[in-house]
Structure 1
Amino acid sequence: MNILVLQHLAVEHPGIFRDFLRADGITWTTVELDAGEVIPDVDAFDLMLVMGGPQDVWQESEHPWLREEKAAIRRFVVELKRPYLGICLGHQLLAESIGGRVAPAACAEVGMMSLLRTDEGFRDPLLAGFDEPMTVLQWHGAEVAGLPEGATILASSEACRVQAFRWGAHAYGLQFHIEATADTVAEWAAIPTYAASLEAALGADAAERLKSDVDLHLPHLNREASKVYTALMTLARTALSVET
């Protein structure tokens, strides 16, 4: 299986998913877009993971590579119809690339928070095994404000209607961070943009308090991530067997 990972910041990588992939003996190709790396021909890949980042989907003037990234996502998801998982910015990029709309959130979400699955979310294999309510790590100031045609909402929160969605049977966006590890908060809090959003949302000493909160929930978060990984790999292997 050939997996393509698109990153927008070195510390926003697949996190715990890297451990799962290594345990399965699977390697992947990482493209660091903010460092000027170029997206290869996506036709060569079976699964695409698109991670978060400090950029916003509408910042094409500041980050011209966003145009190429959106085109690559559209090609992979709409034309090739291959499995896709986008997290945070990757979730928003999926929506915009296939006809949805992303906008600044009315209320930023930062911290450990709860959200609820929709009826379809309970049935969907990616989220079927989660506890209810779901407890997740949030760190975003933009949101999917308009879904692309044919999309199904899988989870919502009071502040953000589109926390998770599926397009077709193969493309998923998650606004929250399912990939968190023990290093996530410290690594992200070292980024000035993230540190500012963290302090604005949670006040002084936010990084230390959030790290303690994430550490408390981490075993649970990693178990939920394992369920997502298993469902995603089942989807990818099934799609690959059909193509071959």
Structure 2
Amino acid sequence: MQGALVVQNTPTGGPGRVGDWLGEDGLPPDVVHAYDGGELPETLADHRCLVVLGGGFMPDADDRAPWLARARELAAEALKTRVPVLGICLGAQLLAHVAGGTVRARHGLPESGSTELTLRPEALEDPLFRGLPARVKAVEHRVDAITRLPRDAYWLASSERCPVQAFRVGERAWGVQFHPEATPRSVAGWDAESLREQGFDRDELVRQAELDEPAAAANWRLLLGRFAAFVTDGG
């Protein structure tokens, strides 16, 4: 059995350090470049967990990203068969969508760069988030948002502009709106003009991300280590 099936939805939206961390913890990433015709498997039978990365699509945008239909099927299979899931940005939205939540396009104010998240009381007992600081920094890059969580979801974190920043569906599937894989270098590669149109200055975003990086890297390395341990130890 292979390690983590990782669904990559855009050319620049790779797993980055999340893939490195999973590999270090015994879950080598099997990255499928779905955006470039990479074929997703029919089932998750050969993988120990599912990781769905970000991308500038709605989770049901099959006209623009036809592979998302298969990604949704795999997420639904994971929920049914208790295969652990980690959804990041679009991946979190796809998880929420499959489990019965609601995602809205270009909802509310956009978020980009290092952003303060507030952990909710439910996070105190969550296998991944427990013990993290009450307020943590994470890189954001979003315009769409989850506006209603699935009925059986645990709401774990929020930010000023986006209430649903992290959640868990059932006992084995997590979604995070933020980007634990992103670094200041990632921010420096974003389109400066698009950011200006949203009211952000890229140089300032990079500066703030650099200041916040040591603590952010430590927090998200801990979270990914816990996810890997949850998978390898059988939850």
The CA deviation at 1:173 is: 0.3
Q: Distance in 1 between matches of 2:21 and 2:207?
A: 24
What percent of counterpart residues are identical? Answer: 31
> How far 1:80 moved relative to its partner?
1.4
Q: After superposition, what is the alpha-carbon deviation per residue over 1:127-155, rounded to whole angstroms, capped at 9, x for unaligned?
A: 12322212221110011111112111001
Alignment of 1:20 onto 2:21: yes
Residue 212 of structure 1 is matched in structure 2 by 207
Q: Which residue of 1 aligns with 2:51?
A: 49
* Structure 2 match to 1:89: 90
Distance 1:135 1:182, change over 3 A: closer
Q: Note closer, same or farther for the CA distance 1:35–1:134 as it changes in structure 2 (3 Å cut).
A: same
Q: Which runs of 5+ in 2 are unaligned?
A: none
* TM-score normalized by the length of structure 2: 0.91
Contact residue 139 and residue 180 of structure 2 kept, 8 A: yes
* Partner Cα separation in structure 2 for residue 159 and residue 226 of structure 1: 25
Aligned to 1:198: 195
Quote the offset at 1:196 in angstroms. Answer: 4.9
Which amino acid is 2:80 matched to? E
2:233 is the counterpart of 1:232: no
The number of residues matched between the two structures is: 232
**Residue 157 of structure 1: aligned partner:** 159
Partner residue, 1:119: 121
Structure-2 change in CA distance of 1:61 and 1:18 (3 Å)? closer
Q: Compute the displacement of 1:69 (Å).
A: 1.3
Bigger proportion of residues as helix? 1
State how far apart, in whole Å, the 2-side matches of 1:24 and 1:96 are. 29
Q: Distance in 1 between matches of 2:147 and 2:22?
A: 32
Q: TM-score, normalised by structure 1?
A: 0.88
Bigger CA drift: 130-139 or 15-24?
15-24
What are structure 1's unaligned runs of at least 5 residues? none
2:103: which partner in 1? 102
Distance in 1, matches of 2:44 and 2:26, equals: 22
Q: Counterparts of 2:185 and 2:101 in 1: how far apart (Å)?
A: 33
Q: Report the Cα distance in structure 2 between the residues aligned to 1:136 and 1:116, rounded to whole angstroms.
A: 11
Superimposed CA distance per residue, residues 90-134 of structure 1 (whole angstroms, 9 cap, x where no aligned partner): 100100012111002211111222121111112212112322212
Residue 182 (structure 1) shift:
4.2
Q: Do the aligned partners of residues 25 and 63 (structure 1) sit closer, same or farther apart at CA in structure 2, a change above 3 Å counting? A: closer
Contact (CA 8 Å) 1:163, 1:175: kept in 2 or not?
yes
2:145 aligned partner: 143
Task: In structure 2, give the amino acid aligned to 1:80.
Answer: T
Partners of 1:20 and 1:57 lie apart in 2 by 26
Q: Name the residue aligned to 2:186.
A: 184
Distance across 2 between alignment mates of 1:151 and 1:25: 28
